[in-house]
Amino acid sequence: MSDRTNQKIVVTGAASGIGLATAARLRREGAAVFTVDRAGGIDLEIDVTTPGASETIVAAALAKIGRIDGLVPCAGICEYMPIEGHDDAFWERMMAVNVTAVFRMVRAALPALRQSGHCRIVLIGSVMSHFGSAGLVAYTASKHAVLGMTRAMATELGPHGITVNCVQPGAIQTPMTVGFLGNGETEMAQYWRNKSALGRLGQPEDVADVIVFLLSDDARFVSGHGVFVDGATMQQP
């Protein structure tokens, strides 16, 4: 629905970065947004990986905004860790946040989503869904999983009128990426800046704008895709 005055959206990871920018853009357009994060300043403060978190989020969202037309499980982590010294706990935490919690969120919200006539799900993938990078084995594996979930969910949920897509950001300056991009002046930041044909790092709003499009009625026949938001990073040598 291009007119968002009646649209009800749940956004996790909404206290910062892409989630914050997405919630802000949706609200400016008149949508009712239920925000979730571990940090404060949102509607529900909860760790999405805790047992029963997804069911708690859905129940709280329905109590506050009445229904769910769109879901953006935006909570995620990205950390650099070489294979040597890469313990099981690090791997399991990456998968718990980036993959398992996303699946649980969709599963818990599905009964409510089916009742919406304009249901959209937008997951958060990465350019890493299509290639790998040294030191990002766990993160890369998690984002390959997100793209796979997107395609499978779109196939399974399409008959219910539900579209499922994911955005695939390049290097975006957010609190999540500060560990390796720093303030934008690190060697790694310059690498990604050079790799983008547009010659810059992305901002949360660059990704949020595409998420908002995929949540709209304008994207009603777009489903099962990973949409690159990367400044042509994938086209550069």
CATH number, domain of 25, equals 3.40.50.720
Q: What is the pLDDT of residue 206?
A: 96
Phi-psi region of 232 (alpha: psi -120 to 50; beta: other; left: phi over 0): left
- To the query of whether residue 139 is one of the catalytic residues in this protein, the response is yes
Residue 224 has pLDDT above 80, yes or no: yes
Does a structural domain hold residue 176? yes
Residue 125 — very low, low, confident or very high, per pLDDT cuts 50/70/90? Answer: very high
Give per-residue pLDDT as tens, 194-204: 888 898 888 99
- Report pTM: 0.93
pLDDT at 127: 92
Q: What mean pLDDT comes out for the span 172-179?
A: 80
From the candidates 112, 124, 139, 174, give the one annotated as an active-site residue: 139
Question: Which H or E run includes 119?
Answer: none
Q: Which of 144, 170, 147, 146 is nearest to 229 (CA)?
A: 170
Crossing angle, helix 101-114 and helix 137-157, to 10 degrees? 20
In a domain, 235, yes or no: no
Residue 10 belongs to a domain: yes
pLDDT digits (tens, 9 = 90+) for 134-143: 778 999 999 9
Residue 152 lies in a domain: yes
**Total domain count, the chain:** 1
Residue 108 counted as domain residue? yes
Q: Please state which of the ranges 47-56, 75-84, 97-106, 114-123 shows the lowest mean pLDDT.
A: 75-84
Q: Which domain holds residue 65?
A: 4-230
pLDDT band (50, 70, 90) for residue 147: very high
Q: How high is the pLDDT of residue 237? A: 60
Q: How far apart are CA 156 and CA 205, in angstroms?
A: 30
- The pair phi, psi for residue 122, each rounded to 5°, is -125, 115
Q: Per residue in 33-51, pLDDT tens?
A: 999 999 989 999 999 999 9
78 domain residue, yes or no: yes
Give me the pLDDT at residue 213, please.
97
Token pair 């008959």 in the structure block, residue = 159
Calculate ∠ Cα 210-177-174, nearest 5°: 50
Q: Is 160 part of a structural domain of the chain? A: yes
Domain annotation covers residue 237:
no
